[in-house]
Amino acid sequence: MAEELKNVDTPMTEAEETKAAADLPVQEPDAQPELPEQPELSEQPEAPEQPELPEQPELPEQPEASEQPEVPEQPEAPEQPEVPEQPEAPEQPETAEQLDQMEKKKLRIAQEIEQLMRQRDQLKRAPSEMSAKLKDLLSEEIETFKKREKRRSAEMLAVFAKHNFYANGFTPVELRTTLEDLGPTYVKIGQIMSSRVDMLPESYCKELEKLRQNVKELDPQIARAVIEQETGRPIDEIYSEFRDKPLGSASIGQAHLAVLKDGRKVVTKVQRPLIADMMRKDFVLLKKFAEILAIMNEDKDDEEMVDLMSVIEELEKVTEEELDCRVEAENTRYFKEHCIEDETKVTCPDVIDELTTERIFTMTFVDGYSVSKKDRLIEDGYDPDKIGYAILENYVHQILDVGSFHGDPHQGNIMVAHGVPTWIDFGMIGRLSNQDINVLQSLVLSLLEQDIEALTNAIMSMGAASPRTSRNKLMEDLEGFLSKYMSVTSADDLDMAVLLEEITELASSNYISLPGKYTMLVRSIATIEGVIAQLCPEVNLFKILSEKLMERAKQSFDLGQSFINAGKDVLAAGKKTARIPVLASDALNNMVKGRMKLNLDLSGFEDVADKAFFTVKYLMLALFACVLFFGSCLLCMTDIQPKMPNDMPLFAAVGLVFSIALAIYTVRRMWSRK
């Protein structure tokens, strides 16, 4: 103890040493019982002084002692710069309400992160890691899946060979029949592709619409087990009633009607077990086949063939979204929040967040029927015209005001519940930026004004032009396009879907690649027009949309900015005009000196050049095959070694075989080109 006191007293002054020595007899009785605690605090110089704190008579003297232990603590001071910064924290929660909102937001983020981590683990879960109950129910399916995985490549090759796929390529009919023979998974893929005109030509999409699913219903016990595994709770604790008979069944999953404990009717979509893994493995095989077909069809016309690899990659992304129920849930929430203005006119279901994961999606049940049942609407006392106009008005609001629209608004996705149209199925949502809406506005207004220059600018700004795109040719095509509508005097006589489809075809024929959002919009408009035509034929989408766009143009028109832009254009034109004499003089000088260059624009002759190149290429191959054949025949009459058993020179035999094979290849390629 004497050594410890000596070590502690080392940094003290003489006066303090005297005082400490005077206090030693008084502190020893009290300090002895605390000696076992001091070794824990002996690393800090404040440890021996802390027992003096409770002694009130020495409180005035302790500040002097407390100043000295701060000498060794000063190096630690830089470690506490956050102490003065913490007073800024009270600036965030200015009110108790804001503080409460922040706490709720943090809690929700933490819950979502935890849920995402759990669902990520579920995504990677192998069949052997499933719950015991689900594993027992799926024992046969798991065994079948393992066997299928081994022979799937052979099955797919057999289907392709059956439809003469390697010779005919991807014709629309062959693609549809091939998908049907490959099974329900590929039928679903085809149905997704049928609504993606940005991925496939229109002829393919129309053919794929004929696909029909013939799938077996999922065992209700398996559906219950999936829900229990995803939620971590027995199904009896979640629902007061769960209908085993599904409302509908598809290749990816099926929907069940249920009643929650609080009495709300809901629909729970359950994803089929193993379907995600099956589809991902099939996509790996499809990519391999696409690489092979790309090599086999490399000499075919690009306009006649589809870029299969890009289609498969894009389709894989879409399928991944289809396999994640959270995507549809997020789309539904966004649609409810931004696209629904008045729920008494148009509405959509609510998402049940606590019963929505990657493999299950739960929403409120829509107790109604399809909007296609016009007779029933009239029987129930509802006005079809009013319902149709409400749907159309909300759809225009989605496009122009929100920039997000329902990508598949067919009759089955619009229900009527108690006289209120209700949107459902938000697996496909289109997104438009403000710039995209401005382009659409320029397109429609230039159509109304018959302004070819403005229409050309609008179409070229919609997509990406290729080096083969000719602005002059596009303007010529648009002149012919507008001439068909010269006699039209009213917007009521125009069909919005037909106009946009023709413009899309014009852009494609002029090698302008349109983004998927525009082609999805064209497809969506054509679909909604069919729905509206059945409910209220006299309502015209083009008229309503053009009126809204004209109002939008008036609101965004800035007279002052227009004068400024006009002034800039006049100034730029004046500067260019002043350079005309100089440019003319330079041109004449170059002509006199023989340095004049003439550039020819051969736009529009690309097809002729391609055909000429193709013809020359295969004529050269045919000529080479003929020369090789006759040369090999001449070698047969020589005595060149080595020789075959029939006394024919080996080089001559190889040359004959190669020349014949080359001739057959050349003839087949030229014939397929025709």
pLDDT, tens digit (0-9, with 9 covering 90-100), for 459-485:
988 888 888 888 888 898 888 888 877
Contacts (Cβ under 8 Å, ≥6 apart) of 226 = 134, 270, 271, 273, 359, 360
pTM for this predicted structure: 0.62
pLDDT value of residue 48: 45
The model's pLDDT over 290-340, given as tens digits with 9 standing for 90+, comes to 777 676 665 555 544 556 777 778 778 888 888 899 999 999 999 999 999
| pLDDT tens-digit series, residues 115-134 | 555 545 544 444 435 566 56
pLDDT of residue 565: 65
CB 485 within 8 A of CB 452: no
pLDDT at residue number 415: 94
Is residue 642 reached through a cis peptide bond, with omega within 30 degrees of 0 on the bond before it? Answer: yes
Cα(313)–Cα(107) distance, rounded to whole angstroms?
37
**Hey, what amino acid is at 483?**
S
- 198 pLDDT above the threshold of 90: no
- Checking if the pLDDT of 537 tops 90, the result is no
The pLDDT of residue 487 is 67
Q: What was the pLDDT predicted at 560?
A: 63
Q: How many angstroms separate the CA atoms of 593 and 568, rounded? A: 38
pLDDT level of residue 634 (50, 70, 90 thresholds)? confident
Task: Quickly state the pLDDT bin for 27 (edges 50, 70, 90).
Answer: very low
Instruction: Using pLDDT thresholds of 50, 70 and 90, give the confidence band for residue 490.
Output: low
Per-residue pLDDT of 1-15, as tens digits, reads: 444 434 444 445 554
Cα separation, 75 vs 91, whole angstroms: 30
Domain residue ranges in the chain: 2-76, 123-323, 432-559, 606-673
pLDDT averaged over the chain?
Answer: 75
CA 53 – CA 49 distance, rounded (Å)? 7
Per-residue pLDDT of 550-585, as tens digits, reads 888 777 665 566 667 667 777 777 777 777 777 777
Percent of the chain clearing pLDDT 90 (strictly above): 21
Q: Are 28 and 48 in contact (CB under 8 A)?
A: no
- Whether the pLDDT of residue 251 is over 90: the answer is no
367 vs 12: CA distance, rounded Å: 86
For residue 344, give both structure tokens: 């008494």
423, HSE (Cβ side, Cα atoms, 13 Å): 30
Distance separating alpha carbons of residues 575 and 595, to the nearest angstrom: 27
